[in-house]
Structure formats: C-alpha cells, structure tokens
Structure 1
Amino acid sequence: MAAAVVSYCKPSPFVGQFPSTFGKSASSQSVEISMQSSRITALFWGSKKSVKSQPLDSSLGDFTLTGSGTEEATGNQAVAKKISVSVISSILEVSANEWDACTLDATGPEKFNPFLTHGFLSSLEETDCAVKETGWMPSHVIAKDESENILGVVPLYLKSHSYGEFVFDHSWADAYYSFGSRYYPKFQCCVPFTPVTGPRILIRNTPFKDQVFDIVVSALKDLTAKSQVSSLHITFSSESEWRKLKDKGFLQRIGMQYHWKNRNYKSFDEFLMDMKQSKRKNIRQERKKIPAQNLTMKRLRGYEIKASHWDSFYTFYRNTTDNKWGTPYLTRDFFHEMGSKMGDQVLLVVAEQEGKLVAGALNLIGGDALFGRLWGCDPRVYYPSLHFEACYYQAIEAAIELNLSTVEAGAQGEHKIQRGYMPVTTYSSHYLMDEGFKKAIAEFLMRESSQVNLVMKLLHESGPFKEGIH
C-alpha cells in the first residue's frame, strides 16, 4: 500500500508542481472546451503583447455599517458607522501596533501567527525581498473608521509571476496564454515565500467585525476588477475564511502539508512509544548518527542568535536554494532584520562540529505551534541524517519543551510521514475575472480535490503510528 501511495502522489499537483502537461490533460481539455465558447468575450482576448494593470487608486470607497453593532459601544471602543477602505504601497504606512492588533484579534492569542506580524512582513519589504522589483508589489488593503482607527488589514501583493507561493498555478497561466490571454499581473493575498496557514483578512474584534469582513472582501473584488488583472488568490487561509469566501464567488482549492501533533508528550521517547516498532527503530538509528559524526545540536532563541549565526545561516540557505530551488528569494539582510524584529519568536536550530557551525534550521514560534521554515548546510560536507535531526526531531523536542500542540513542517515531503508528521489539509480561494476560465478551472479543482482527499486517506491508513493513535 505504501509503495502505491508514493507512486500515486508523485504526479499530483499538490505535492510538487503542476504537471507541465496541463494543456494536454483531461483537466485542460475542459479548459479548452469551455474557452472555445468564451473566446470572443474573454477579458484580455487579443494579441499576446504585454498587458499592464491599471494604476492602483489608493481609495477603494467609503462604506456604511448598518444594524446591530453600530448602535452601542463595548468597553472603551468608539462606535464606527462608516469605514473607508484603501490600498497602501508599503506596510510601513501602518504602525506596527495597529497592524499587529488586527493580527492578534484575527488569530486569537492561542493561534497567534508570527508570519502575519508587522515585524515579519516589513522585514520582507525593507530588505528588498517582497517589493515591486522582485515581482511582489505591496498593495495592502486597509479599513479605517471615521476616527482613523484601523479596523482591518490585508497583506496583498500585485504579482508578475507565480514564484514563492507554494500553491501552484503555472499551468493556469499557460492555459490563459494559449488562448491569447494574460494571466499576469494578478493579486496574491498571502505571506510571501511562506506556506503557512492562517487568516488573511485580519479584522479587529469589534461588534461589527462580520460587516467589516464582508466590506473588505467586496473591496478586494472591486480592486481586482478596476485594476484589470486576471485574478485574486487568497492562499493558505484559515478554513473558516475559505468557507466564507465560497459564498462570495471564490473557487475553493485544497492542498496538503505535513504536521506533527503533540499528544501531551513529556519527552521525545514518549512520542516514540506511539510509533510502530520499525519506525521507532529507524528514528533512533538516525539520531545516533549525529553524535557519531561529532556533531552537537543547539537550539538558540532571541539574543542567543548573533549576527555571525545569521551570516552562516544565509550561506547554508543559499546552498539549499542553489541545489534545489534555483532562486534565493530572501536576502542576507532579511535574516538580520527579521531576527532583530522578531526576538524570542525565532528559534534557530544549529549543528556544530568542533565548535564550527555547519548547518541550521530556522523556526518561528507561534501561539500553539512551532513553524519550521528553512534549512541549509555547509556546501562542502554531507552529514547523513542531519537534515532529519535539525528540521524534524529538534523541532519535536522544542515543541514538547515549550508545550506547543503542533509542528508545521511546511510544504511537500512524503519522507516526513515516517518521522511522525502526518498529512493535513490546506486551503486556498481563487477569484477569476473571466467566466470561461472560471468554469473550466472550477471543474479541474473538483477533480483535484478528490485526488487530494484520496491520497490523504491512503497516507493516514498506512501511517507510522500504532493502531488507534490518530
């Protein structure tokens, strides 16, 4: 069964990238059939010359709140009856306190997500990672009341490509192009370069928050239409947002990641005892290889992480990108800036050999989760099992130590399953302007969702845990 699962997963678009044969597949046949009838009325039909979006109008309109929630205040909160929605070209136009208040209210303290904070997102902008020049033009949406209090924020980017998103739509762009239409630019609502689940429409906890949510979504759709772009994508959203957006004309998409769950473990050995004997033995053998190679593992937080650590980690990160991704999305300055702003929310796992740093794994700490992000190693040496130790086992130990319920290990990687990281569903929503493409892609997404659900079921049935442990 396990072998069948692996071979079944490899061509699937949610565990790697979309098949380049989208244009030849059954999915794209439906795209072609649907689009043949819509070719005359498609939004960008015509020549394949470069299409530029319209300049962004900073104002998206004024809106009136109605009904319950506008008639009385709670606590010291001022009553808002009208709100204005606008676009800003940099997160630096909003104070960290105001942005983070929206983030914290949207997630709640127990689900606090460090990637949605002003500190993380501003670090991407200030160090030239998520900026216009790299194809990530900040176009964040802000909702304010009459007293200029911020009631909601949305991290939004005008994209000229689909890199750094981890929800793959390159084949959609190819399908658009094959019919003479332009897919780019598009709007992307996400955390750049970070496949981490969390709310994307960050609304303050007021009596009228549901109305503000609806107004902001409406403004996002209007912005997409007025800017004459092909689409708006809200990726790795919370499940509740995903369900709400379906009723607002968004297509629903699911994907898969691998997370580790803490079942109130007191130690790593206690976790191992929930594993099947063969998996438990394999993990112990892998961990023994670390001291056998004269490697020492350390977990550093906050002030313990020095500038030299970030410089070394950047070298390791570049080794990973050069070998696997091809494009280093993040700059050296980003790690320094992010580390400075995020403080104790950063956990850097490092491996040393004879006092010299040889590898590292970057994690961020949330309200109830440890988020594993990036890994890299000295390019001159190969250390067997070090990747598993630094990225997975150290993260599990840290989560147990910090009493966190989850370790999110990021996108892809079936090898994570035998190490205790099980498949979970991720959610994305897609608003396409062209009705012909929308219909065809909706049909594709239905088939893709069935495939994702089947693979997840098979993976859970052949999982590494003892019977009865879920």
Structure 2
Amino acid sequence: MRCQFIHSMESIDAERWNRVVGSDYPFLRHQFLSALEHSQCIGDTRGWHSHHLLIFDDDQLIALMPLYLKQHSYGEYVFDWSWAEAYQKYGLQYYPKLIAAIPFTPASGPRLCHTLNHPEEIHRLIHKVTAHLDSTCAERHYSGWHVLFPNADDSALWQQTHAAQRIACHFQWFNREYASFDDFLATFSSRKRKNVRKERRRVVEQGLEVERLTGDAITAEHWQQFYRCYQMTYAKRSGHGGYLTPEFFACLQRDCQQQILLVIATDGDTLVASALYFFDDTTLYGRYWGALKDYDGLHFEACYYQGIEFCIEQGLQRFDPGVQGEHKIMRGFEPVITESYHQLKDPEFFGAIQHFVEEEATMVKKYQAEARQALPFKSTSTD
C-alpha cells in the first residue's frame, strides 16, 4: 500500500473520489468538500489546510481520508482548547495538528473510506494509515492526529489502533416506523404531548407560514434570503457573520441541491427565518439556521418539528439536528454517544490525555443516563 497527501480537491477526479466514498453521506461528497475550498471557507488564511490522504494498491485508489492540517481548533466541535493551553504552558506547540473531519460539520460519518472486503485487508489498511499518520507527525513536527465524529463502522476500525477514544453526548431522533407526526406524539406522556402541540400552534397564531422545499423548488432568491437570515443570526450570537460565505452556498445550489431540504418561514410576503438541512438515504442532518427577528417557538418548529415530519414522510431512519441543546430532550431527541480518536506525539501528554478522556467518559455516560430519564416518552415507548 502507498500513501499520498493531496492539498486540493482539484487534485482528484470527482467520480474517482465519490466511488471510494461509496455512500451518499453528503459531507464527504467531492462536491461538498470542493465547495468549501472554492468559496475560501477553508484555506491558508482560515487555518484549515486540505491534507487529504489517498491510499493506493499499486495504482488503484483503495481508500481515502478527509484530512486537514489545522492551526487552531475552531469549527471542530470536539473541544481541545484546554489541551492546547497545557502545551503552551510547558513551552510546546499544539498546532499544527492533523484532523480527519468535515469542516464546521459535527455530523458522524465515514472518516476512512475504502473499497476492501476482507477483514485482514482492512486490518492491514488501518495499521498502514496510522503508521503513516504517526510518521508524518514526527517528521513534520505536528503535535498529533485526531479523528472526529466517525460513524459506528469507522469507530470499530479506530478502536484497533493506539489512539485514545473520547466520547460525547449528543441528541438525535429515531424513526420507529411512525405513520405521522401525531403517531410520534402518541408515544409522549400526555403533558409533554400537549406542550409540543401548544408550541406548534403558537407559530400558526403568530401568522407565520412554514414550508419545506427540496431540489429545484429552492430558487436563487430563497438562497439569498436564507443567507441573510444565517448571517444575521450568526452575527447576533457570535459577533461575526459565520464561517460560511455566500459563494459556498452558491456552490451548494449548483452542485448539492438534490440532497438539501430548506425550511422557510414567512410572515405575509416576507421570509423571516430559514433552516437548511442535508439528507441521504437514511439520515437527515440539521445544519444552519437563521432568523431576521425572534418569534415564539419558531426555532423549534423550523429546526426540529419540520425535520421530524420530513423524516416520517421520506422514511428516513434518523435525524441528527446538530450538537448541544438539552432542549431537544423534551422534544423527543434521544441522548446518543458520539466518538473521536486522538493520538498525540508527546508520550507524557498523551498519557495525561488518556487519563483525562477516561475520567470524562464516566461523566458523559452518567449524563446520558440522566438525560434518558428526562425523555418525554411513555414508560413503554422505548422498551
């Protein structure tokens, strides 16, 4: 096996890349990663340097990793700022570091894609990859490598390595063959069910109309209005206009629109809020939200309830609405464990990190158990 880094998605043909990815997980598609590059959401001035890893058997591409060289920890959603501070305290450099991740996208998915079928070949691949990452970090003085938000199949591979496993608790919705939103609500206790219905009714009472759009029904004007909402909300929350540029969303409109759901809310003739989702054959991913003004309950309607209805209509199995937000629990989103894997070059710091993530895991699992107790379902609905 031979490993090679590439520093732009332009260095590899889209069909060749997507064939090895082998799924319709939207964030690993060549078109999505290219959109981030072409729109300069990532690049030399943004602290995200494309460093994708290709693995060949002779001249045949058999595996790949979405890999970035990072100069900071923004836009990752696996928080290691305290690790960087500890390095600095002892006169060491935490950056640059290598991460296998999708920029600004905390959605679990493949992180080592391959075309292999036999377990012994896959075992040889994961050890070839980790050895190459280790040697690259040693030769180029990177502090280490990290794999963020791998899915279950990927996690089984990374558990075979020497990397430290870190876990977190996020909230996701699961489709248990519901026939309708009311069918889903029927699994709630009476009081919790009334709360959701009241919340949805309040949106209507404010004179708002909420609509779901997909594919070619999303016009250029919709995209412009969405970006205005996104930018205004980001500025209000974070003091800047967001990581993503108008050019990025223009690329999505051109190349990725068939995997996008746009929820819009209008007050009369004015679009006042919008939520952007991606979807594949099994999963809906809630990604970006924005509003020009605040309306009671509209965020929950646009970002949660409309997504649940879409999943039920389309037969999608899972809805990942994004990170954080305990308010998701009472709306039927269940606490699930997400994983990341971390290997640091410095043995003393790596030992400390291993101890840290073990202690952290105990707290995360306790929190998950407590969150499950707060779910709105009747006692038998998740048995």
> 2:327 corresponds to which residue?
415
> 2:14 corresponds to which residue?
96
Which one of the candidate residues 351, 355, 365 is aligned to 1:453?
A: 365
Matched residue SS, 1:467: coil
Kept in 2, the 8 Å contact 1:203–1:213? The answer is no
Instruction: Give me the TM-score of the superposition, normalised by structure 2.
Output: 0.96
Which one of the candidate residues 315, 324, 347 is aligned to 2:261?
A: 347
Report Cα offsets for 1:269-303 as digits up to 9, x if no partner: 00000011111111101111122111111111111
Matched residue SS, 1:383: coil
The separation in 2 between residues aligned to 1:416 and 1:311, in whole angstroms, is: 29
The separation in 2 between residues aligned to 1:325 and 1:120, in whole angstroms, is: 24
Matched residue SS, 2:295: coil
> 1:140 corresponds to which residue?
52
**Which range is displaced more, 305-314 or 252-261?**
305-314
The separation in 1 between residues aligned to 2:335 and 2:69, in whole angstroms, is: 31
> 2:86 corresponds to which residue?
175
Kept in 1, the 8 Å contact 2:67–2:100? The answer is yes
1:246-265 alignment, distance < 5 Å: 246-265=159-178
Q: CA deviation at 1:420?
A: 0.7
Q: CA deviation at 1:316?
A: 1.0
> 1:199 corresponds to which residue?
110
What percentage of residue pairs aligned between the two structures are identical? Answer: 39
> 2:204 corresponds to which residue?
291
**Which range is displaced more, 323-332 or 459-468?**
323-332
Report Cα offsets for 1:145-188 as digits up to 9, x if no partner: 32x33111111111000000000000100111111111111111
Matched residue SS, 1:443: helix
> 1:273 corresponds to which residue?
186
Q: CA deviation at 1:360?
A: 0.5
The separation in 1 between residues aligned to 2:87 and 2:233, in whole angstroms, is: 32
Report Cα offsets for 1:374-397 as digits up to 9, x if no partner: 11001xx22110000000000000
- Structure 1 segments (4+ residues) deviating >6 Å: none
**Which range is displaced more, 348-357 or 156-165?**
348-357
> 1:131 corresponds to which residue?
43
> 1:42 corresponds to which residue?
none
The separation in 2 between residues aligned to 1:84 and 1:256, in whole angstroms, is: 36
Unaligned runs of 5+ in 1: 1-82
1:270-349 alignment, distance < 5 Å: 270-327=183-240, 328-349=242-263
Instruction: Give me the TM-score of the superposition, normalised by structure 1.
Output: 0.78
> 1:64 corresponds to which residue?
none
The separation in 2 between residues aligned to 1:130 and 1:196, in whole angstroms, is: 18
> 1:161 corresponds to which residue?
72
> 2:5 corresponds to which residue?
87
Two-structure CA RMSD over aligned residues (Å) = 1.3
**Residue type matched to 2:27 in 1?**
F
**Residue type matched to 1:400 in 2?**
I
**Residue type matched to 2:88 in 1?**
Y
The separation in 2 between residues aligned to 1:166 and 1:206, in whole angstroms, is: 32
**Residue type matched to 1:290 in 2?**
V
The separation in 2 between residues aligned to 1:213 and 1:95, in whole angstroms, is: 24
Report Cα offsets for 1:296-320 as digits up to 9, x if no partner: 1111111111111111111111122
Q: CA deviation at 1:217?
A: 2.7
Matched residue SS, 2:321: strand
The separation in 2 between residues aligned to 1:252 and 1:433, in whole angstroms, is: 16
**Residue type matched to 2:110 in 1?**
P
Kept in 2, the 8 Å contact 1:257–1:425? The answer is yes
Kept in 2, the 8 Å contact 1:259–1:406? The answer is yes
Kept in 2, the 8 Å contact 1:151–1:212? The answer is no
Q: CA deviation at 1:323?
A: 2.1
Kept in 1, the 8 Å contact 2:126–2:157? The answer is no
* Number of aligned residues: 379
The separation in 2 between residues aligned to 1:205 and 1:245, in whole angstroms, is: 16
1:358-373 alignment, distance < 5 Å: 358-373=272-287
Q: CA deviation at 1:434?
A: 0.4
Report Cα offsets for 1:443-465 as digits up to 9, x if no partner: 11111000000000011122111
Q: CA deviation at 1:218?
A: 2.1
The structure number with the bigger radius of gyration is: 1
